[in-house]
Structure 1
Amino acid sequence: MTDKHRIKCVVFDLDDTLYPEREYCLSGFKALGQQFAPLIGVSQAALTETLIESFNQASDSRVFNRALENLGTDYSKELIGQMVEKYRAHSPEISLPQAAANLLSKLKNKYTLDLITDGFLPAQELKIESLGIKGFFDYIICTEKLGRKFWKPAPKAFYMIAEKGGFTPEECVYIADNPEKDFKAPNHIGWHTIMITAPKNINCKESLPEEYLPGKVIDSLEDIGGLLL
């Protein structure tokens, strides 16, 4: 990465970058247990624990289906749809790690801080609210508001941030966790890119084309301080 004194804008991803996304998932499973356990005739604990087991088995689109099958419960597409809706609309019990809060406070004194996050609404907005992070950022882009086609790796959100702040590409750095979608666009337009590979991240992948890879890889959010402060 270039001389940190040339950087003016530090842009973060949200999930598995500023907090462990697994915490959001567990919060959602708890909410589903509370609402749906009576409807399917099992205890709240049984449904919640089975959802967690299914998620641990594979964090794919069949987490809910697999959990209900493991419980021996008949289910319909409508029930799965209701569970998905509740999961995305629940108020998550998540918190910003103290290390992340400390880092953002220090960075805000030196840089413009912005946020780009993909994901369904209102889930992303509820995460931002629960984490209490709005005050750290000058500009927050939930790409769902732009339209699904503008989720990363589409470059639109990155161009919007640079244009709004009047930043050149070499003055911007994007910090995220998922090389399958996070770094292709900022790499292409000349931004600096940093990937966090914390063990709890659920999106770490390997064997991708070079254009998808970050300019620098670090082990945890705390390492940002050594690069930018």
Structure 2
Amino acid sequence: MINTIVFEMDDILFSQKEYVLSGLREVDKLVIRRYSVDGFYQVASELYDDGERKQLIKKALDNLNIRYDEKMVHFLTKKYYEHVPTIQLFQDAKWVLNHLARDVKLGIISDGILDAQYNKVKALGLNSKFQSIILCDRFGRENWKPSILPYKHLCMALETEHHECCFVGNNPNTDFITANKLGWETVHLDRMSTYFSEQNQSYEYNAKYKIQHLRELANIPGLKHLFTNRYVPI
């Protein structure tokens, strides 16, 4: 019987876009201070909306005709990842946390740059809500999901067995293949507006269940007993 629910963090518990915009506002302040040029936030946020990810800061600076070197880009990127973001939990994440039975074990397994992920945890106050938070970058980039290491560490930390765990993620490329092999229950949260919504993988990469709202966890047969009341859609 499942007694543990484990979540990815980005776009599951909060909006990653909200985090990105928070970081861009911090970089905007630095650009104004260094170059006396307005408009970085607006340009960068529009580039993000257009799908830019890897070269976001560089391309925004280019669009503003700002001369820079790699040292400056490194500095701005570092400040972006180090900032404590202005973010909040999704309403459905709050609902889940408020309606789980008291004896349910809660965990997080999350990829991403360590400083950034740690500051997200801090901003959301997750240490007081989850018994174990595994930030995979602690073990090196090679141990981001689908590495087996974070799953094992979480089970040891929570003193639970693999068959007693459920993982809730949103990236079919990495989130479910290892959990499936270990015998975890797996749930794909597809909010339809996230980067991974359109991606398809072979059977072993797919979650057992697919939902569009975290409240739907309370309707999954193997998870109903974890909630104090069932979610009834309006």
**TM over 0.5, shorter chain:** yes
- The equivalent residue for 1:3 is none
- Aligned length, in residue pairs: 222
Residue of structure 2 aligned with 1:68, choices 24, 39, 61: 61
Give the conservation status (yes or no) of the 8 Å contact 1:194–1:217.
Answer: yes
**1:224 counterpart = 2:191:** no
Residue of structure 2 aligned with 1:158, choices 126, 151, 154: 151
The CA deviation at 1:152 is 0.6
2:190 and 2:69 map into 1 onto residues whose CA distance is 38
Tell me the percent identity: 27
**1:17 counterpart = 2:12:** yes
- The equivalent residue for 2:171 is 178
| Deviation sequence 1:107-135 (CA, Å, 0-9, x none) | 25241111111111211111011111211
Give the conservation status (yes or no) of the 8 Å contact 2:132–2:158.
Answer: no
1:27 and 1:209 map into 2 onto residues whose CA distance is 35
The CA deviation at 1:101 is 1.8
Amino acid at match of 1:32: V
After TM superposition, the structure 1 = structure 2 runs for residues 119-134 of structure 1, keeping only pairs within 5 Å, are 119-134=112-127
1:220 and 1:98 map into 2 onto residues whose CA distance is 10
Unmatched runs of 5 consecutive residues or more in structure 2:
228-234
* Aligned-pair Cα RMSD in Å: 1.6
Give the conservation status (yes or no) of the 8 Å contact 2:4–2:104.
Answer: yes
Give the conservation status (yes or no) of the 8 Å contact 2:189–2:211.
Answer: yes
Greater relative contact order (CA < 8 Å, ≥ 6 in sequence): 1
| Deviation sequence 1:171-212 (CA, Å, 0-9, x none) | 111001111111111112111110111133233342322222
1:103 and 1:73 map into 2 onto residues whose CA distance is 46
- The equivalent residue for 1:34 is 29
TM-score relative to the length of structure 2:
0.89
Give the conservation status (yes or no) of the 8 Å contact 1:55–1:63.
Answer: yes
Give the conservation status (yes or no) of the 8 Å contact 2:185–2:208.
Answer: yes
TM-score relative to the length of structure 1:
0.91
Amino acid at match of 1:55: Y
Give the conservation status (yes or no) of the 8 Å contact 1:20–1:200.
Answer: no
Give the conservation status (yes or no) of the 8 Å contact 1:180–1:205.
Answer: no
Amino acid at match of 2:88: S
